[in-house]
């Protein structure tokens, strides 16, 4: 293998953004070191949906076969009212003509695939765990990144030519430049769980039931035949607007009793939602939060990426896709420019405003816009047939408009 060009790139954070960026740099012949806060990479069971524009980036990194083997390819997306009544169905991914699949997968398995690829390609000596960023100092010739370990002990400073902060919504690097900033909580709390359950509908169906206004469930499978008896691992997300004035915590164990009353009557002929919640292997609670777009990502030799740059509502699976696009964009600029600082500026120019638009759109245009529209038309009551309220063509138009806004229309992905 040819020698890697060494720009002294340090990646703070070894999540999806940081690892994808490291792999993108490696593909382009640029060396880097990744510093991850956790002592050991463990698989968390909650799921993630990889839409075609995210899969496009992962395919380019050469990990598509591993992802397809570990997850479930979605055949369709189906919308239901909170009364369990059918609204709309559409094919997804390859089945809708995209060149790439739409995959439901455990976030932990995706992380593991990227982590193992990074260790194999970059070398284990380039991936440093148990390094939590505690800030950085910068001078004319470089940056010194300060780390502590999981016990709080100070570690030796690391000298870098370029620092890319991929350390998430609670980014220590971003906080250094925006010390007074707080997360924006719009009054929506979520609970996420995984349940072993027989296949629902096709066994490859992504389901949205109800709306954020009256209670919403997003349900999809992330692993097949987990027990040798044909049961799948079903990922579900419960969301409710204005359920409480108190913001949920992150990754804290959730209790079904805190929210199941919203869904107590959701017993349909195709799914018993309360049983799905009660039988969960694990429940975690999260707030639906983001941050207001900021006017600057790049400060000298330091820039932000992924959730550290543009934390957005976890809606429409766009956070991971936008982070993956960030990674490829900056890696391409660093490979194509002789001046790394010019590359950072070019990256920000391409991505900052584009992602700010997604952040703001995610607030105003939720992916359950179809369910909200039907709820309004039906006065939130059961209906005889969906065609009495709205045509399938009109629903298709609502769906297509959301895909354009979120950046994964068929035309955009093919382009």
Are 141 and 283 found together in one domain? no
Sign of CA dihedral 102, 104, 105, 106: positive
The last residue of a domain, from among 363, 383, 403: 363
Task: Give tens-digit pLDDT for 324-342.
Answer: 999 999 999 999 999 999 9
Question: To the nearest whole number, what is the mean pLDDT of the chain?
Answer: 93
Verify that 334 and 310 share a domain, yes or no: yes
For the chain, percent of residues with pLDDT exceeding 70 = 98
pTM: 0.94
- Pairing label, strands 30-35, 5-12: parallel
Residues 401 and 263 in one domain: yes
Judged by average pLDDT, the poorest of 128-137, 235-244, 382-391 is 235-244
pLDDT tops 60 at residue 243: no
With pLDDT > 90 as the criterion, what percentage of the chain qualifies? 80
**396 and 376, same domain (yes or no):** yes
Higher pLDDT, 365 or 409: 409
Residues 6+ apart with CB under 8 A from 360: 293
Check residue 198 and give its pLDDT.
97
Q: What is the CATH number of the domain that holds 381?
A: 3.30.9.30
pLDDT in tens, 184-221: 888 888 999 999 999 999 999 999 999 988 899 999 99
The three-state secondary structure class of 200 is coil
Nearest to 67 by CA among 79, 76, 56: 56
Q: What is the pLDDT of residue 401?
A: 86
- Nearest CA among 114, 26, 25, 18 for reference residue 64: 114
In the three-class reduction of DSSP (H, G, I as helix; E, B as strand; rest coil), residue 39 is classed as coil
User: 164, 212, 115, 216: which is closest to 10 by C-alpha?
Assistant: 164
Query: What tens digit of pLDDT does each residue of 40-82 get?
Result: 887 766 899 999 999 999 999 999 999 999 999 999 999 999 9
Domain boundary among 363, 381, 397: 363
State whether 47 and 131 are in the same domain.
yes
Q: Are residues 32 and 88 in the same domain?
A: no
Mean pLDDT of 125-140: 96
What local confidence, expressed as pLDDT, does residue 316 receive? 66
On whether both 303 and 274 belong to a single domain, the answer is: no
Residue 294 tokens read as 């900021």
Q: What's the pLDDT band for 315 if we cut at 50, 70, 90?
A: confident
Tell me: do 109 and 193 sit in the same domain.
no
- The total of structural domains in the chain comes to 2
CATH number of the domain where residue 141 is located: 3.50.50.60
Please state the rounded mean pLDDT for residues 348-373.
89
Judgement on whether residues 189 and 40 belong to the same structural domain of the protein: no
Percent helix, strand, coil in the chain, to 5, is 35, 30, 35
Give pLDDT tens digits for 253-284.
889 999 999 999 999 999 999 999 999 998 99
Instruction: Tell which wins on pLDDT, 365 or 213.
Output: 213
Does residue 194 sit in the same domain as residue 217?
A: yes
What per-residue confidence (pLDDT) applies to 245?
Answer: 62
Which domain covers residue 286, as residue numbers? Answer: 73-99+185-290+368-414
pLDDT at 188: 87
Q: What is the pLDDT of residue 105?
A: 97
Residues in the chain: 415
């Amino acid at each position: 293998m040819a020698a890697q060009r060494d720009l002294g790139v340090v990646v703070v954070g070894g999540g999806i953004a940081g690892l994808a960026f490291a792999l993108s740099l490696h593909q382009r012949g640029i060396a880097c070191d990744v510093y991850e806060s956790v002592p050991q990479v463990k698989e968390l069971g909650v799921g993630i949906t990889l839409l075609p524009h995210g899969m496009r980036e992962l395919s380019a990194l050469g990990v598509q076969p591993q992802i397809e083997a570990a997850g479930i390819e979605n055949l369709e997306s189906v919308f239901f009212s909170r009364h369990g009544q059918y609204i709309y169905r559409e094919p997804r991914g390859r089945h809708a003509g995209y060149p790439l699949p739409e995959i439901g997968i455990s976030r932990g398995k995706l992380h593991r695939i990227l982590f193992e690829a990074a260790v194999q390609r970059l070398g284990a000596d380039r991936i440093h765990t148990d390094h939590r960023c505690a800030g950085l100092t910068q001078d004319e010739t470089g940056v010194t990144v300060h780390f502590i370990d999981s016990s709080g002990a100070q570690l030796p400073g690391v000298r870098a030519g370029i620092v890319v902060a991929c350390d998430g919504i609670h980014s220590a690097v971003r906080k250094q430049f925006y010390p007074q900033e707080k997360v924006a909580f719009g009054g929506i709390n979520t609970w996420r769980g995984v349940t072993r359950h027989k296949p629902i509908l096709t066994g490859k169906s992504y389901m949205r039931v109800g709306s954020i206004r009256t209670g919403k469930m997003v349900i999809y499978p992330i692993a097949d035949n987990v027990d040798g008896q044909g049961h799948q691992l079903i990922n579900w997300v419960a969301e409710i607007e204005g359920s409480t004035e108190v913001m949920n915590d992150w990754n804290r164990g959730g209790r079904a009793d805190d929210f199941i009353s919203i869904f107590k009557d959701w017993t349909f002929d195709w799914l018993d939602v309360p049983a799905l919640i009660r039988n969960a292997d694990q429940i975690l609670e999260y707030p639906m939060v983001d941050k207001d777009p900021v006017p600057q990502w790049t400060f000298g030799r330091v820039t932000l990426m992924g959730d550290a740059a543009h934390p957005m509502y976890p809606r429409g699976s766009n956070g991971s896709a936008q982070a993956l696009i960030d990674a490829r964009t900056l890696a391409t600029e660093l490979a194509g420019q002789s001046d790394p600082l010019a590359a950072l500026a070019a990256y920000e120019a391409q991505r900052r405003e584009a992602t700010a638009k997604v952040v703001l759109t995610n607030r105003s245009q939720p992916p359950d816009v179809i369910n909200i529209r039907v709820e309004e038309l039906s006065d939130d009551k059961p209906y005889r047939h969906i065609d009495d309220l709205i045509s399938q063509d009109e629903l298709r138009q609502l769906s297509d408009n959301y895909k354009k806004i979120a950046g994964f229309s068929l035309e955009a992905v093919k382009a």
